[in-house]
Amino acid sequence: MPSAWRSKGEDAENYFLALPSVEGGSSAYVRVLSPKRIAQLEETISQIKTSDLEGNRMVVELMSMAHQFSCDKQGRINLNEKLVQHAQIKKGVVLVGIMSTFHIYSEEFRDAAVAEGPSDPTTRAAVFQRFGL
Protein backbone atom coordinates (compact mmCIF):
# COMPACT_ATOMS: atom_id res chain seq x y z
CA MET A 1 0.00 0.00 0.00
CA PRO A 2 1.52 3.36 -0.96
CA SER A 3 2.74 5.41 2.00
CA ALA A 4 0.51 8.34 1.00
CA TRP A 5 -2.53 6.14 1.68
CA ARG A 6 -1.41 5.12 5.17
CA SER A 7 -2.02 7.03 8.36
CA LYS A 8 0.89 9.07 9.63
CA GLY A 9 -0.56 9.10 13.15
CA GLU A 10 -1.23 6.49 15.77
CA ASP A 11 -1.48 2.77 15.08
CA ALA A 12 -5.20 3.00 15.91
CA GLU A 13 -5.68 4.69 12.54
CA ASN A 14 -3.62 2.08 10.67
CA TYR A 15 -6.40 -0.42 10.12
CA PHE A 16 -8.64 -1.06 7.17
CA LEU A 17 -11.64 -3.20 6.28
CA ALA A 18 -11.62 -5.21 3.06
CA LEU A 19 -14.96 -6.20 1.54
CA PRO A 20 -15.92 -8.06 -1.62
CA SER A 21 -17.32 -5.97 -4.46
CA VAL A 22 -20.93 -6.43 -5.49
CA GLU A 23 -19.71 -7.33 -8.95
CA GLY A 24 -18.62 -10.88 -9.62
CA GLY A 25 -16.67 -12.70 -12.31
CA SER A 26 -14.07 -10.73 -14.23
CA SER A 27 -15.46 -7.46 -12.79
CA ALA A 28 -14.85 -8.52 -9.17
CA TYR A 29 -12.48 -6.64 -6.90
CA VAL A 30 -11.82 -6.02 -3.21
CA ARG A 31 -13.00 -2.70 -1.77
CA VAL A 32 -10.85 -1.40 1.10
CA LEU A 33 -12.31 1.10 3.56
CA SER A 34 -10.36 3.55 5.71
CA PRO A 35 -11.24 4.04 9.41
CA LYS A 36 -13.47 6.98 8.43
CA ARG A 37 -15.40 4.87 5.92
CA ILE A 38 -15.62 1.97 8.40
CA ALA A 39 -17.40 4.31 10.84
CA GLN A 40 -19.80 5.37 8.06
CA LEU A 41 -20.50 1.73 7.22
CA GLU A 42 -21.17 0.93 10.88
CA GLU A 43 -23.64 3.83 11.04
CA THR A 44 -25.40 2.66 7.87
CA ILE A 45 -25.65 -0.93 9.09
CA SER A 46 -27.00 0.23 12.47
CA GLN A 47 -29.97 1.78 10.62
CA ILE A 48 -31.15 -1.63 9.35
CA LYS A 49 -34.14 -2.71 11.40
CA THR A 50 -34.00 -6.10 13.08
CA SER A 51 -37.30 -6.89 11.35
CA ASP A 52 -35.61 -6.45 7.93
CA LEU A 53 -34.65 -10.09 7.55
CA GLU A 54 -33.38 -9.74 3.99
CA GLY A 55 -31.27 -6.70 4.85
CA ASN A 56 -29.75 -8.41 7.86
CA ARG A 57 -29.08 -11.57 5.87
CA MET A 58 -27.26 -9.56 3.20
CA VAL A 59 -25.14 -7.79 5.84
CA VAL A 60 -24.20 -11.14 7.38
CA GLU A 61 -23.30 -12.49 3.93
CA LEU A 62 -21.16 -9.43 3.14
CA MET A 63 -19.44 -9.34 6.52
CA SER A 64 -18.70 -13.07 6.44
CA MET A 65 -16.17 -12.28 3.71
CA ALA A 66 -14.87 -9.08 5.34
CA HIS A 67 -11.30 -8.87 6.58
CA GLN A 68 -9.91 -6.24 8.95
CA PHE A 69 -6.19 -5.68 8.59
CA SER A 70 -3.33 -3.26 9.06
CA CYS A 71 -0.18 -2.92 7.03
CA ASP A 72 3.42 -3.22 8.10
CA LYS A 73 5.96 -0.41 7.82
CA GLN A 74 6.63 -1.27 4.18
CA GLY A 75 2.90 -1.16 3.36
CA ARG A 76 2.44 -4.90 2.91
CA ILE A 77 -0.97 -6.40 3.61
CA ASN A 78 -2.53 -9.86 3.66
CA LEU A 79 -6.04 -10.62 2.44
CA ASN A 80 -8.06 -13.62 3.51
CA GLU A 81 -8.57 -16.45 1.04
CA LYS A 82 -12.26 -15.64 0.49
CA LEU A 83 -11.40 -12.18 -0.84
CA VAL A 84 -8.49 -13.47 -2.93
CA GLN A 85 -10.84 -15.98 -4.55
CA HIS A 86 -13.61 -13.39 -5.00
CA ALA A 87 -11.30 -11.04 -6.92
CA GLN A 88 -9.67 -13.99 -8.69
CA ILE A 89 -6.20 -12.81 -7.68
CA LYS A 90 -3.59 -15.22 -8.92
CA LYS A 91 -0.37 -13.24 -9.16
CA GLY A 92 -0.16 -9.46 -9.24
CA VAL A 93 -2.64 -6.83 -8.12
CA VAL A 94 -3.48 -3.25 -9.06
CA LEU A 95 -4.52 -0.75 -6.37
CA VAL A 96 -6.86 2.05 -7.48
CA GLY A 97 -7.36 4.86 -4.97
CA ILE A 98 -10.74 6.54 -4.65
CA MET A 99 -10.61 9.25 -1.97
CA SER A 100 -10.94 7.46 1.41
CA THR A 101 -11.17 3.97 -0.11
CA PHE A 102 -9.24 1.95 -2.60
CA HIS A 103 -9.92 -1.10 -4.73
CA ILE A 104 -7.69 -4.12 -5.23
CA TYR A 105 -8.00 -5.72 -8.66
CA SER A 106 -6.46 -8.81 -10.14
CA GLU A 107 -3.75 -7.46 -12.44
CA GLU A 108 -5.00 -9.67 -15.26
CA PHE A 109 -8.61 -8.43 -15.05
CA ARG A 110 -7.68 -4.78 -14.53
CA ASP A 111 -5.49 -4.86 -17.64
CA ALA A 112 -8.43 -6.28 -19.62
CA ALA A 113 -10.78 -3.56 -18.31
CA VAL A 114 -8.32 -0.79 -19.20
CA ALA A 115 -7.95 -2.26 -22.69
CA GLU A 116 -11.72 -1.88 -23.20
CA GLY A 117 -11.26 1.89 -23.00
CA PRO A 118 -13.05 4.55 -20.98
CA SER A 119 -16.76 4.55 -20.21
CA ASP A 120 -19.29 6.19 -22.51
CA PRO A 121 -19.04 10.01 -22.10
CA THR A 122 -22.83 10.45 -21.97
CA THR A 123 -23.20 7.85 -19.23
CA ARG A 124 -20.26 9.32 -17.32
CA ALA A 125 -21.77 12.83 -17.52
CA ALA A 126 -25.16 11.56 -16.29
CA VAL A 127 -23.60 9.78 -13.32
CA PHE A 128 -21.45 12.79 -12.39
CA GLN A 129 -24.49 15.05 -12.61
CA ARG A 130 -26.48 12.68 -10.39
CA PHE A 131 -23.83 13.14 -7.68
CA GLY A 132 -23.42 16.87 -8.21
CA LEU A 133 -19.91 16.62 -9.65
Express each pLDDT in 3-31 by its tens digit: 666 666 655 567 889 999 887 776 788 99
pLDDT in tens for each of the 133 residues of the chain? Answer: 666 666 666 555 678 899 998 877 767 889 999 888 999 999 999 999 999 999 999 999 999 999 998 887 787 888 899 999 999 999 889 888 887 888 899 988 777 766 666 678 888 888 888 888 7
Domain range for 33 = 3-130
How far apart (Å, rounded) are the C-alpha atoms in residues 42 and 47? 9
Burial (CB < 10 A; 0-12, 13-18, 19+), residue 66, is middle
The number of domains in the chain is 1
CATH number for 67: 3.40.1550.20
What is the rounded average pLDDT for all residues in the chain?
84
